[in-house]
Structure 1
Amino acid sequence: MAVKRVVAVLALATSLLATSVLGEEQAKCGQASYYPSEYACYDNKTLCPITFSLPTKPCGGGCYSPEQYSCEDETIKDLPEATSPFTLTFSGVRKTFQNLNVKACGRYLAVGANARECHACTAAGGTNCGTYQNSTVLLPGGEMASDVPGHQYWYINPTDGILRYTEALAGNASLWNATIPGKEFAGQNVKVYENGLFTWTREDATTHWWMACLVTLPGGAVGTARSWRIYAPTYVNMERGDCELGRIFSKAVDRKAGVYKYP
């Protein structure tokens, strides 16, 4: 990816988050003044933006995210894409989101103190349910780390951009056919970097961030039993007023960290 494109992407993310801390004093980087909450200074001469509490680094006259790129001979290059099963961690402006795991339950992926992580297992057929760690684990090819016959898949719903997963698809042709467009949509628009960013690409620009949108679970009054479901920042979703921006990171894990089935 060209440096100019990387800088443009970082500038977009920074402009969306450009709110300095109230009362924050400016610092000096060479002759330039800057807010330390918004930029990192290197060698007292180069400023690079901080996005979602994570500093970018200088390379070849531009700035890059070390969670997605490397700098080799002053050239920005992509990190390798993931080949291992992985968990997801959300990092956003809201402090309560920092380093929280994305969890799967009820066909949705969500984050937050009240986000539920659901799993199910049956010992029928000799399944050893004790071998699973029951964490939310995804595979780079679009599957969930589940062993239920028929498998389960994660995908972005093409109608509203929400990050979801399927139920087990064995023997259910209509569900399989309905799911395929979502699976293809995810495969074309999502890249996962090994121990790096979980990214989404819009048709006209590459973005490295997601949206966590507030949901009150059934039976809960406003302000209780709430979680934040994960959405791609489509143009329609960006008009919502109940969402927070953030980045999502992958961490390589063993496949058995997953579950037998995600209900």
Structure 2
Amino acid sequence: MAIKRALAVLALASSLLVSPVLAEEQEKCGQASYYPSEYTCYDDKTLCPIQFSLPTKPCGGGCYSPEQYSCEDGTIKDLPEATSPFTLTFSGVRKTFRNLHVKACGRYLAVGANARECYSCAASGGTNCGSYQNSTVLLPGGQMASDVPGHQFWYVNPTDGILRYTEALASNATTWNATIPGKEFAGQNVKVYENGLFTWTREDATTHWWMACLVTLPGGTVGTGRSWRIYAPTYVNMERGDCEIGRIVAKAVDRKAGAYKYP
């Protein structure tokens, strides 16, 4: 399904919602009928929509996304921006695309049954390789949670919108925007909420959803070795027909949950 068509189908009250499952039975919430795949019922009286399989919650007469806001005394407030290292999960509408762990390998970030998580460690110079948990961990400032000299950085490629990360730099750098073509560098145009959404800002608006697009590994055919790389929803990418749309959520973790190096 092309992305634009998917968005048109999913758009409801300015929210992207899952369409009713075929033959799904309605339930009651007070006097109202609803599809459980579309809404959550609270206290048998309040219906809040489900967005990309993530339930919203009631607050002050409305509904809010707990991945972007908090509810304090009936008032919806923004979550703080992330200060902790974090892992990422991708949640789309279809069950097979819910709560997928985003993995780093080959300088790409991807999800899916065959998405690989690559890491390495050189046990030299006093490095304790056993102290790392070797999960894909990002830092709010744009770095990967790696300790290799020179550091590694995650970024949205300005050419095709793909979410990538760098090799270790040649020196102990704190930024790398001069080493990658384009104006976008580590962390720029991306906003991360503490234990909340991982969002991207296009020229005209902030988007709260991403695209997971099918990759067929060299030598394979479509349907074998499935992996889905993460893309920002640029206008060009929205024309693709091989992608799933969903939200990415950051979860705070300890920095040592990362790796010494991501190959």
Place the TM-score, normalised by the shorter chain, in its bin: 0.7 to 0.9
Q: Distance in 2 between matches of 1:65 and 1:149?
A: 39
CA 78–22 in structure 1, closer or farther in 2 if over 3 Å, else same: same
Aligned pairs, number: 250
In structure 1, list runs of 5 or more residues that go unmatched.
Answer: 1-8
Instruction: Write the mapping of 1:1-263 to structure 2, written as runs, cut at 5 A.
Output: 11-14=13-16, 17-171=17-171, 177-179=178-180, 181-183=183-185, 186-187=187-188, 189-263=189-263
Task: Output the amino acid matched with 2:178.
Answer: N
Per-residue CA deviations over 1:218-260 (Å, capped at 9, x if unaligned) read 1222211120001112222121110111121212221111111
TM-score with structure 1 length normalisation?
A: 0.86
In structure 2, list runs of 5 or more residues that go unmatched.
Answer: 1-10
Q: CA deviation at 1:97?
A: 2.6
Per-residue CA deviations over 1:41-66 (Å, capped at 9, x if unaligned) read 33444322111222111223322101
Quick check: 2:26–2:33 contact (8 Å CA) kept in 1? yes
TM-score with structure 2 length normalisation?
A: 0.86
Quick check: 1:10–1:49 contact (8 Å CA) kept in 2? no
Q: Distance in 2 between matches of 1:110 and 1:18?
A: 23
- The structure richer in helix per residue is 1
SS at 1:238's partner residue? helix
Task: Output the amino acid matched with 1:72.
Answer: E
Q: Distance in 1 between matches of 2:144 and 2:208?
A: 22
Q: CA deviation at 1:110?
A: 0.2
Q: Distance in 2 between matches of 1:32 and 1:232?
A: 37
Q: Distance in 1 between matches of 2:164 and 2:18?
A: 30
Task: Output the amino acid matched with 2:227.
Answer: S
Q: CA RMSD of the aligned region, Å?
A: 2.3
Q: CA deviation at 1:155?
A: 0.7
Identity of aligned residues (%): 83
Task: Output the amino acid matched with 1:40.
Answer: T
Quick check: 1:85–1:253 contact (8 Å CA) kept in 2? yes
Q: Distance in 2 between matches of 1:11 and 1:201?
A: 21
SS at 1:124's partner residue? coil
Q: CA deviation at 1:176?
A: 5.3
